[in-house]
Amino acid sequence: MQVELLEVRQHMAQFPPFEQLSDDLLDELAGQVEVGYFKAETDIYRHGDAVEYLHYIRSGAIDLYRRNGDLYNRLSEGDIFGQFDLLRDRRVRFPARAIEDTLIYFIPLTAFQHLCEVDDNFADFVEVERPRLESTVDQQRRGHEMLVTRVRKLASRAPVMVESDATVQEAAQRMGEHSASSVLVLAAPQTPDDSHAFTHEDGQLRRMVGILTDHDLRNRVLAEGRPTSTTVGELIDERPITIQSDESVYEAMLRMLRNNIHHLPVLYRRRPVGVLHLSDIVRHETNSSLYLVDNIFRQPNVESLAPLRFDVRAAFVRMVNEDDNSQMVSSSLSSIGRSFTRRLLELAEEELGPPPVPYCFMALGSMARNEQSIVTDQDNALVLDDSFDPEKHDAYFLTLAQRVSDGLAACGYSYCKGDVMATNSRWRQPLNVWQQYFRDWIDDPSPERLLHSSIFFDLDSVYGDEAFVERLQDLVAGRASQRPRFLAAMARNALNRTPPLGFFRTFVMEKDGEQNNTINLKRRGTAPLVDLIRVHALACGSRAQNSFDRLADINKTRLLAGHSGERIRYALEFIAMVRIRHQVIDIQEEREPDNNIEPENVSDNERHNLKDAFQVLSNAQKFLKFRYPMPSQKR
């Protein structure tokens, strides 16, 4: 992206309603923006003029007037105006005048309409008067700020950067000039096709190789008596911990806690766009799950980790009782589960020594989707470097996998009944074998063959070389959408679990000998919804793993008609919330939580909404069968 367009998108990304747009939408928008400059005391437009743009104030300030000349509103940097005119008759209702030199970004009508169509947050913001919008959002999102706020909103200041051959004195001078507590360190790319390289504002290729902080200057230069001529390249760690600008503040905080760092470089793809400091997000430190994650990484052994499983339940109960939605709860539980896994891997490596070849510990199923509940088991695998030699290396990785699996079991994550764990040699393989697994599943599918393989299409990295899992995700996203037989087979499996609705929309109870007259909300509700969402996501080439993120990608296509995607989103959220609320009741009444409810113990209103949600699932399954028929075999 050109430097000018990058500056446009970075500025707009700090302010509502653009702060919650995806990076892809921001990229698209920045390319359509036109720029206008207005001197102080000049009109921007008059009453009755035609309006063809949404106006965004880049700098300066403007006044909006009523027809009689009374002041209606005063706006400044980051504010928008003209949206109500665009939604009405495209004629100016409130004339606008610059009260100081003002720079305006003009967003064309077509771009405005597109954003209204594809992004509900944007549409809600521009369609509702501001005071009413703010009160509604405050009520709905109180306690959810870290999940919905993107990192780029807090890391709005451009980073201070130096070359790796700069001296620490030069770096300190730059930090002083910019009142910064850190500098990012750049170097020339290692190869012409370096995957970490970006085009610097001087037009040259660079890659970020590290970060130097004021703490480093104190402890690694002054305290050690190093000369000021020491180059910064001698002090930095070559693989800095970073975060993408599109990720949430919640994830940024977790990353800081588990890596014990106070500065986190923020990247837009490969380009550094800011540095997030711990102090920037202290005000968000209200969710107890953050402290639990911090505590996990402080434990010296498995024996001290295991008792924290009781803290996990306590955090779960608090979140639900504080009215966190299912996405917040499941994301927090998934982050906690990932933290247990990472700490167990760190402890195992401390005891076993460094791995003989690079690897990535891969999460599958609900953890990969960031949709874990308090009732969950472990589903994982190991992706190894292609230099892996079983005779030389497998003993190490089998022991590593066993330590993690046993440790997770001690922490409350039961062993997988289907043996989908890294302790199973089939799921402990080099990258090229995993790639062949996925090619076989996708290119030569059958419902029977895929019955126990669907879980592998929810995959994410937890620890190690993330590039291994990214390559598998790319393979799936690029290949699955081109294989109608695969999609049909996946769709057929997604229909195996049906909602518990009988004739006249009465509930059909479970009759399995153990849970009579109950409904399993996972087996009959959330799981089949996750299954059908996964099929549509594979069909549209989505790289998302979370079901709600997948729905967002699906809704950008024509796979689902009308508001079907939003109805599915509602059904999934509602059933998931009923499920976790009843798990909290189980815990509070000292019962082992499960996924079952008894309809007679459900309120009339909840029962009615459950029936509606199950009907949405039923309709979505009928469409799934129609949308992905099994192609006829060629002779």
- pLDDT score, position 515: 54
Beta-carbon neighbour count of residue 51 at 10 Å?
Answer: 20
- pLDDT score, position 635: 40
Pick the most confident of 63-67, 195-199, 560-564, 594-598.
594-598
Lowest mean pLDDT among 184-198, 218-232, 413-427: 184-198
Burial of 426: CB neighbours in 10 Å, binned 0-12, 13-18, 19+:
exposed
**pLDDT tens across 264-298, in order?**
999 887 889 889 887 776 544 434 576 788 788 88
- pLDDT score, position 413: 95
The whole-angstrom separation of Cα 76 and Cα 574 is: 40
Work out the average pLDDT over 140-161: 67
By the 8 A CB rule, do 30 and 115 touch?
Answer: no
Q: b/e map of 165-179 (b: 16 or more CB within 10 Å)?
A: ebbbebbbebbeeee
- Name beta bridge partners: 135: none
Q: How far is CA 583 from the centre of its chain?
A: 25
- pLDDT score, position 131: 33
- pLDDT score, position 504: 38
- pLDDT score, position 141: 42
Work out the average pLDDT over 445-451: 83
Q: Is 292 helix (H, G, I), strand (E, B) or coil?
A: helix
Percent of the chain residues past pLDDT 90, beyond the cut: 44
- pLDDT score, position 357: 96
The whole-angstrom separation of Cα 36 and Cα 156 is: 23
- pLDDT score, position 6: 82
pLDDT tops 60 at residue 389: yes
**pLDDT tens across 90-138, in order?**
888 889 999 889 999 999 999 999 998 888 778 877 765 433 323 333 3
Work out the average pLDDT over 247-266: 82
**pLDDT tens across 342-375, in order?**
999 999 999 999 999 999 999 999 999 999 999 8
The whole-angstrom separation of Cα 315 and Cα 334 is: 13
Work out the average pLDDT over 421-431: 96
**pLDDT tens across 607-632, in order?**
777 888 888 899 999 999 899 998 87
Closest CA to 207 of 290, 155, 258, 269: 269
* pLDDT grade for 489, boundaries at 50, 70 and 90: very high
pLDDT tops 70 at residue 506: no
Closest CA to 143 of 326, 374, 336, 319: 319
Residue 527 DSSP symbol: H
H-type helices in 373-451, by residue range?
390-410, 431-443, 447-450
* pLDDT grade for 326, boundaries at 50, 70 and 90: confident
Q: How far is CA 278 from the centre of its chain?
A: 20
The whole-angstrom separation of Cα 349 and Cα 463 is: 12
pLDDT tops 80 at residue 146: no
pLDDT tops 60 at residue 145: no
- Average pLDDT of every residue of the chain: 85
Three-state helix/strand/coil letters over 318-347: HHHHCCCCHHHHHHHHHHHHHHHHHHHHHH
Beta-carbon neighbour count of residue 607 at 10 Å?
Answer: 15
- What is the Cα gyration radius of the chain? 27
- pLDDT score, position 507: 56
- pLDDT score, position 133: 26
**pLDDT tens across 39-52, in order?**
999 999 888 899 99
The whole-angstrom separation of Cα 242 and Cα 198 is: 15
**pLDDT tens across 39-89, in order?**
999 999 888 899 999 999 998 888 888 877 877 777 778 888 988 888 888
- pLDDT score, position 138: 38
The whole-angstrom separation of Cα 237 and Cα 265 is: 13
Three-state helix/strand/coil letters over 15-49: CCCCCCCCHHHHHHHHCCCEEEEECCCCEEECCCC
Percent of the chain residues past pLDDT 70, beyond the cut: 90
Q: Which helix (H) or strand (E) holds 75?
A: strand 71-76
Global pTM value: 0.60
* pLDDT grade for 554, boundaries at 50, 70 and 90: very high
